[in-house]
Chains A and B, each alone.
Chain A
Amino acid sequence: MSFVNFKKREVQFKIVYYGPGLCGKTTNLQVIHRLINPEARGDLTSIATAGERTLFFDFMPLVAQAIEGYQTRFQLYTVPGQVMYNLTRRLVLRGVDGVVFVADSQWSKMQENVESFANLEENLQLQGETLQTLPHVLQYNKRDLPDVAPVHYMEFMLNHGAVRQSSFPAVATTGEGVFEALNMVARQVLHKFMIVHSRKEEGVRELALV
């Protein structure tokens, strides 16, 4: 649920990176943190185990040039991917405005991808949300590894709804597909916000991508 503060001229959105364990959700945030203008982001905070597995979430605020006259903040979160942390994933999903589903392209991880996607749908339903109306994109990560499924197969497994969502092949460690996915989900979130809150449709203009 986005938050508008008219006094501070500020709009806040929440974007959650979701996906199975070790698919690269934290890596996405680390790369964004490294490549984005330091003035446009806050610190990257991780609540992780000693083995650097996400225990609760990673968090990083971004400031974007998105809505005229308002400071637009995108709060990026990741969830812990490990199956046992489902309660934590539900907590992090509260008030979500957009999701980047990060899938691991390796054949051996396909079942985990499918299970995690189903888990996302289930957890969203518990808070009265559905992927039919929630802005989301898919990122097929680790395309540089040798034993990966073709993109069309991943589309068949994960992107087979009535409306095909935007999807991005990615190598998060190098930044490939990272900003493409972030920009697309942010744009979708903004457009949904405009549709809901702008009474004057002529005020909506096209937003160019990075």
Chain B
Amino acid sequence: MAQVLQEKDSVRLRKVLLQLLARSESDDCLLCDSGGHMLALEGASRHDPFLISALGAGVFGASRELARMLGENEFSAVLHQGERKSIFLRAVDADTLLVMIFSQSANVGLVKLYSTPAVEDLRQILADIKQGPPVGDTEDSRPFVLSTETQLFSLRKE
């Protein structure tokens, strides 16, 4: 099965992420799943969001295993602090992760503080998505059609 984000879901997620971005003064707010797929992104920095999703999911998955080793259910959040940039990862639900990238000018306390209500809102939206109609039964649905391109992946020209 695929995880499906309808247009109206994207709009709801965007609203929450934009508000979080403004309040926390972060550079980027990104939502990804535990498999490393990027679900939503808001922000202006030029980091590769797909790579951040893959690495973020990996880091958080590893920290979850560490938590289990220590007898915790999970570490609900992970913070990596650098001199100029920092990254804050927080579980939204069992399969989804909020990643916030922020600069030295932002306050880590505010990042943590404002992430709490945002995570609540995101959790509700994701729950609604999971209970929503399957793909094919919504206004966004059009049948998927495989491309007739002869090459699936285009190779570098010699």
B4 touches A4 (CB 8 A): yes
Q: Are the CB atoms of B156 and A37 closer together than 8 Å?
A: yes
Highest count of chain A CB atoms <10 Å: which of B33, B136, B154: B154
CB-based contact A7/B2 at 8 Å: no
* Inter-chain contact A197/B147, CB cutoff 8 Å: no
Closest chain B residue, CB of each to CB of A205: B146
Is A145 located at the chain interface by the 8 A CB criterion? no
Whether B154 pairs with A203 at a CB distance below 8 angstroms is no
For the complex, give the distance between the alpha carbons of A193 and B7 in Å: 20
The reply to whether the CB of B112 lies closer than 8 angstroms to some CB of chain A is: no
Which chain B residue lies CB-closest to A61?
B50
Residue B5 interfacial (CB < 8 Å): yes
Are A207 and B145 in contact, with the CB atoms below 8 A? no
Q: Is B4 a contact of A68 with CB atoms below 8 Å?
A: no
Q: Is the pair A210, B155 in contact by a Cβ cutoff of 8 Å?
A: yes
Q: Which residues of A contact B37 (CB under 8 A)?
A: 1, 3, 12, 14, 75, 95
Is the pair B10, A65 in contact by a Cβ cutoff of 8 Å? no
Q: Is the CB of A6 within 8 A of B156?
A: no
Which residue of B3, B39, B143 is within 8 Å of A199 (Cβ)? B143
Q: Is the CB of B10 within 8 A of A14?
A: no
Cα–Cα, bound, A99→B117 (Å): 38
Q: Does A83 contact B (CB under 8 A)?
A: no
B62 is an interface residue with CB less than 8 A from chain A: yes
Stretch at the interface among A117-125, A148-156, A160-168, A178-186: A178-186
B-contact bits for A95-107, CB 8 A (1 contact / 0 none): 1100000000000
A36 to chain B, nearest CB (A): 6
Q: Which residues of A contact B105 (CB under 8 A)?
A: none
CB-contacts of B46-84 with A (<8 A): 48, 50-51, 54-55, 57-58, 61-62, 65
State whether A5 and B154 are in contact (beta carbons under 8 Å apart), knowing that A66-B146, A96-B35 are contacts in the complex.
Answer: no
Contact indicator A40/B154 (Cβ below 8 Å): yes
Q: Enumerate A168-210 residues with CB–CB distance to B below 8 Å.
A: 179, 182-183, 186-187, 190, 193-194, 196-200, 203-210
A7 touches B35 (CB 8 A): no
Instruction: Out of A3, A7, A38, A68, name the residue touching B11 (CB < 8 Å).
Output: A7
Interface centre among A179, A198, A206, by most B CB within 10 Å? A198
